[in-house]
Amino acid sequence: MKTDFLKERAENFLRDANFAISEKRWNSAAFYLEQACQLYLKYYIFKELKDFPKVHDLDELLEVLGEAYSLSKREIERFRKENAIVISALNQAYITARYLPVEFTENQVKEMKNFTKRLIKLLKKVSEK
C-alpha cells in the first residue's frame, strides 16, 4: 500500500488550515489542523508498522507511535502531558467544528498550529532514530 498519500493529505490539510487562519475561519482551521495531525501520525506509524490504527483520537495515535518507534512511555507521556489542553481541543475539533455550536478562538487555533509544528518536529525526530 502506497502511504505517501497520507503525508500529502496531511500537508494539504495544513495548507488549508493556514488559508482558513488567514480568513479568520477559526472552526475550519481547527478542524484542518486536527486532520493534519491525525494524518501525520498515521503516516509515521504506517512507515514503521506497515499499518495504522483506524481511530482518530490523537492520544491513542500518540500511544501507538510510542510503541511503533520504541519511545519510552515517559517520553510520550511527557509530550502528551505538556500538550494535554491543545490535544483535547484538537480531539474536540474533530466533531465539534462540524456538528456542534462551539466556536474556537484565534488564540486556541494559534496554539493548535504551534502544537502541529511541535508534533511534526517530534515525528521527524523519532523517524530518524
DSSP conformation letters of 35-85: HHHHHHHHHHHHHHHS---S---HHHHHHHHHHHTT--HHHHHHHHHHTHH
pLDDT in tens, 6-30: 999 999 999 999 999 999 999 999 9
pLDDT in tens, 32-85: 999 999 999 999 999 999 999 999 999 999 999 998 888 767 788 889 999 999
Name the grid cell of 56. Answer: 482518530
User: Is pLDDT above 70 for 117?
Assistant: yes
Measure Cα distances from 127 to 45, 69, 93 in Å: 9, 7, 27
Residue of higher predicted confidence among 93 and 70: 93
CATH of 4-128, one of 1.20.120.330, 3.40.630.10, 3.40.605.10, 1.10.260.40: 1.20.120.330
Kindly report the pTM of this predicted structure. Answer: 0.93
Nearest to 3 by CA among 45, 64, 53, 61: 45
What mean pLDDT do residues 83-110 have? 92
